[in-house]
Structure 1
Amino acid sequence: MGPVTGGGGHLLLDCEDTAWFRDQPEAARGAAAALGRRIGLGETRTAELVLAVAELATNVAKHTRDGSILLRVLRNRDVAGVEVLVTDSGPGMTDVPAALRDGTSTAGTLGIGLGAVLRLSDRFDIHSVPGLGTVQLARFWPRPLPSSVTGEPLVGGITRPISGEDVCGDAWAARTHSIDAGSGAARIGEDTGTRRALTPAPTLDWSALTAASATGSALRASPTRPDGSFRPTVVERPAGTTGTASGPEPGVLVMACDGLGHGPLAANASRAAVDAFRAGPGHTPQQVMGDVHRALRGTRGAAVAIARLEAGGRVEFCGIGNITAAVVSADKRATLLSHPGIVGHQTRTLRTYEHRIPPGGVLVMHSDGLSDRWKAADLASLLHHPPALIAAALLRQAATRRDDAGIVVAKGRP
């Protein structure tokens, strides 16, 4: 099977297992070793992963506040790798390039320094603000490096359970979808998005971790007001149609889901939503929302937001419930409209809104486990970083410990 792309060569990676560690360097090292062996990284590559995690974990434990490490599996149809995300709330770095130079290491760490982590990983990224904190991302793939993972994913997300729970009721997913020209037949990417609702857990048992009508009018947003709000006008369009006047347009579908409440029942609802999102035939946000709505009957239900990204930054959006969604550029945040309801129980006529992601901008969707009071300026210096790192930085800034938290970030397609 070939690489999974989201049109135009943009990579989509399937994100599986998640496990969080706080003030647990030894546990993080042990989990990294077990994970590398399980997915077949190889002895040498697994040792390099463990060494990098040890340095990152020791730095977090000794020199930061509220530091956390997230380990998870990334896959495409060819290969599996490990992604490490590290977040903390201070003190931050005044000179990041200096911290990455060989021979630089803070007192009391293993002494290999972040420069060694940079060399050992296949992808390393860091964002740090003095007084605010640091976010780091490192990816490790088998060697030789597969050509199918050399690009940066278009979509990245992260979830974290409420304090005291082992499973998370929030989830995110992404997949490709296109329409065959002339036939109208839908094609769904075979192995994209999350396989299931992501369920962070503090255990080291990685094998256990992996063991309404969709019709209505589309609303086309006219140019935004100066404050970024919409002035929508109704555009009648046959339900389910998509594309441009020149022909069908391939798209990347992205979903954020918040199962009602928290704990296993909320996670079950989100898992059902992810499964329906991945397997359903829908190719517009309102069609996919209908697939998810039917799949969630008999569950607690959920708040769900679904977006379709097309070339040129075009976005179609359909949301039900309290998922915050916004198109963000360096100087503006434009909020996308969701309607009241509970997917799986009660929804109004589904409506789709259209917007565009400006060059260099992103689409952000998150649950109410994050405060929605953040501003465009909070992300301005992050927009050139990978979507997963942007998501982790916003989670660190805006998430609360009083609810499950989930966020997905997608970059506009050129």
Structure 2
Amino acid sequence: MTDRSSVGEARRIAMVAAQSLGFSESRRSDIGIVATEAANNIILHARSGEFLICPSQSKDGAYLDLLALDHGPGIHNIPRALEDGFSTVGTAGQGLGAIQRLSDDFSLYSLPDRGTVFWSRFRETASLDPRPYGAVSIPMKGESACGDAFLTLPSKSRSLYMVVDGLGHGQYAAEAAEEAVSTVRAYAEESVTEIITRTHDALKKTRGAAMTVVSVDHERQVLTCSGVGNISSSILGGTVSRNMVTQNGTLGAVLPHIHEYSYPVDDRSMLLMCSDGITSKYTVSNYPGLQSRHPQLITGVLYRDFSRHRDDATVLLAPLGGDRG
């Protein structure tokens, strides 16, 4: 987002995404309004930023996330800013109120002089209640295909999470990532070691990938992981972050002796996984109150502040306990 022409482009792409997910004409209109207002806020208040359009389709239905990210002056009084008629730049002051009213879910995070992140979600089915994980997966600038991918298979007893980074970027990297997702899904009931081995074999026909697979036993409160290549993963709990071990190698090319690592978790724990398009210096504890927010909002903040902007970038955040609002 660099000028007012970017606003129209953001609206157009958001509405195309909404149509591809099967949203009705009236909901597409709502999405267009929210995209316009959120994108305008970037130009008016921060002059530049990013607007992310994240469609999601599953067997339970579809939803669309819009994220507006900037490093502007921030919002000093959020409750006041959400009131209709309030404006600091001479507009009608209807933007934030309209975004909140039209969205099925809405939240924002802002710190003075550190910028603002808006998150807005639209559900194709009103009753759809997607699992409260957060995910941003964005291709490298100039590429239409993303060489990163992720998979979430949550359940009450055992949940499985995966992030993969196809070697390089572009279409061939995306093909490797897609093959990894298909393989992990097919062998999701196996151990993480077996999943890694199966994926290595499947990726021999591709350029290869880095990948980490995490299995969470919710009854025993134990997380087990295995990873090959530079996917960084950590367990967040309060102000403490514990990094998980990964091994050197490339699935499909060089497979080391595979190890599984187990870690204790509890209902307050969150799993954070990032491809190498996100700098390893990421942290959540430096953002007051952020960990209590919806995971999709948190991933937007982390992408904004720690993306390298020279590679595909993926952030996946999954609470390992109860639902989060």
Please report the TM-score for the alignment, with normalisation by the length of structure 1.
0.72
Letter in 2 for 1:174: T
1:140 maps to 2:122: yes
**Letter paired with 2:173:** A
**Superposition deviation, residue 36 in structure 1:** 3.0
Q: Which has the larger radius of gyration?
A: 1
Q: Decide which moves more: 393-402 or 110-119.
A: 110-119
Runs (4+) of structure 1 moved beyond 6 Å? none
- For residue 288 of structure 1, the aligned residue among 182, 195, 204 is 195
Q: Which runs of 5+ in 1 are unaligned?
A: 1-20, 178-248
CA contact (8 A) 2:74 2:114 kept: yes
Which residue of 2 is the match for residue 410 of structure 1?
318
Distance in 1 separating the partners of 2:7 and 2:186: 39
Could you tell me which amino acid in structure 2 is paired with residue 98 of structure 1?
R
Aligned to 1:381: 289
Question: Using the alignment, how far apart are the partners of 2:301 and 2:163 within structure 1?
Answer: 17
Q: Distance in 1 between matches of 2:21 and 2:2?
A: 24
| Partner-residue secondary structure (3-state), 1:347 | coil
Cα distance in 1, alignment partners of residues 119 and 106 from structure 2? 6
For residue 256 of structure 1, the aligned residue among 144, 163, 187 is 163
Instruction: Give deviations 1:124-176, integer Å, cap 9, x for gaps.
Output: 01111111111121111246x22x32xx5242211222233222211111124
* Partner Cα distance (1:109, 1:263) in 2: 41
Give the aligned CA root-mean-square deviation in angstroms. Answer: 2.2
Choose from 45, 50, 56 the match for 1:63.
Answer: 45
1:344 maps onto 2:322 in alignment: no
* Residue of structure 2 equivalent to 1:10: none
Are 2:70 and 1:88 aligned? yes
**Structure 1 residues 104 and 156: CA distance shift in structure 2, 3 A:** same
Counterpart residue number, 1:278: 185
2:276 paired residue number: 368
Query: How far apart, in 2, do the equivalents of 1:350 and 1:46 lie?
Result: 47
Size of the aligned set, in residue pairs, is: 319
- Measured in 2, the distance between the counterparts of 1:388 and 1:154 equals 8
Q: Deviations over 1:44-94 (max 9, x none)?
A: 222111111110011112222541111232233243232211211222111
* Corresponding residue SS for 1:115: helix
Equivalent residues in 2 for 1:170-319, closer than 5 Å: 170-176=148-154, 250-311=157-218, 313-319=221-227
Kindly, what percent of the aligned residue pairs are identical?
Answer: 32
- Provide the C-alpha distance between the structure 2 equivalents of 1:255 and 1:339, rounded to a whole number of angstroms: 15
1:376 Cα offset (Å): 4.6
Distance 1:86 1:293, change over 3 A: same
- Corresponding residue for residue 235 of structure 2: 327
**Which structure is higher in helix share?**
2
The 3 A distance-change label for structure 1 pair 81 and 352 is same
Structure 1 residues 273, 378: closer, same or farther in 2, change over 3 A?
farther
* Structure-2-length-normalised TM-score: 0.90
Partner of 1:74: 56
Could you list the runs of 5+ residues in structure 2 that have no partner in the other structure? none
Give the counterpart of 2:31 among 49, 64, 77.
49
> Structure 1 residues 136, 376: CA separation in 2 closer, same or farther (over 3 Å shift)?
closer
User: Once the 2 structures are TM-superposed, how far is the Cα of residue 40 of structure 1 from its aligned partner?
Assistant: 3.0
| 1:106 Cα deviation from its structure 2 partner | 4.3
Aligned in 2, Cα 1:304/1:66: closer, same or farther, shift over 3 Å?
farther
SS for the counterpart of 2:63 is strand
